[in-house]
Amino acid sequence: MKQYTLYQIDAFTKTKFKGNPAGVVVNADGLSEKQMQAIARELNNSETAFLFRPDDDSCDGIIRYFTPTIEVPICGHATIAAMYAKAIEEETGSCVLKMKTNVGVLPFEIVRSGEAIKVWMTQGQIKIDPPMPEDVEQQIVEYLGLVPDDRDTRCPVQIVSAGHSKVMIGITSRNRLNALEPNFQKLAELSSIIHCNGYFVFTLNSDDSDILSYGRMFAPAIGINEDPVTGNANGPLGAYLVHNKLVDTESDILTFKGAQGEAIGREGCVEVSVSIIDGVPSLIRIAGEAVTLFKTSIEL
């Protein structure tokens, strides 16, 4: 039997019960995949992160991510939560940690000012697929509960990835965004055909000068009907906006804030920074704050 330290943390917020909840096991060495999956299923967060000691000199540690049903390669909010928990547990100051993930070794930066902690996550390689075929686009729109007139015609429906792919769907109305009632079964079935599990619906129709976008993310194929605040959607959204010339691409960086969670009462905010080279997105970083809901231990 070993005692494991477990945190429940709300990420992309400083307010408890807001943002996106994630479990974090900070001393996961010794856990089997079966045990990690069981812990993730028991906590029933969209993701739970597991931190391990490094296995070679290329990294400062290893991090793995599980939904209640499956392991996923990378996760934004669970990374913010994990690095926040690590900073608290180990009483670290500001630092950059090279963490080995299933999409490679990535630098995660902990910025600490007194008790305030912000985490910057460098995301994986950017991949932007061509726009969806018209028949598939029509299915996505229908299964999300949208009609064609809801679409923002500037925004092609296409898959974007920075380690964990999402379908980007731009619409014109924040009210329509919050009123969506998707057909989760149909979306899950379609995921196996398009080989993408997440559908990120967003609008650039913001009445807040501090917020560029509002979004919702659905991933029923991996047991997440709706994810409250998604780093691996808002980050790729930045690359998508640059790629499709929906923002100024003359500068060498795009920074903005993406809001999410409003429709389900778990409001949170993701800071996004996209490096731009010759008008092309080259690197995505996201940032967020977090708050501990509870800390406990389990013996297995």
The catalytic residue positions are 47
Provide the CB-side half-sphere exposure for 82 (13 A, CA). 29
Query: From CA 49, how far away is CA 28, in angstroms rounded?
Result: 9
Query: From CA 69, how far away is CA 87, in angstroms rounded?
Result: 28
Closest CA to 215 of 256, 275, 185, 249: 256
Backbone angles phi, psi at 33, to 5 degrees: -60, -40
Query: From CA 152, how far away is CA 109, in angstroms rounded?
Result: 35
Query: From CA 297, how far away is CA 32, in angstroms rounded?
Result: 17
Query: From CA 27, how far away is CA 36, in angstroms rounded?
Result: 12
Query: From CA 180, how far away is CA 19, in angstroms rounded?
Result: 19
Asked whether 251 and 275 are in contact (CB, 8 A), the reply is no
Does residue 287 sit in helix, strand or coil? strand
Closest CA to 48 of 278, 61, 28, 3: 28
Three-class SS string for 117-158?
A: EEEEEECCCCEEEEECCHHHHHHHHHHCCCCHHHECCCCCCE
Q: What count of other Cβ atoms lies within 10 Å of the Cβ of residue 176?
A: 17
Q: What is the DSSP string of 194-207?
A: HT--EEEEEE---S
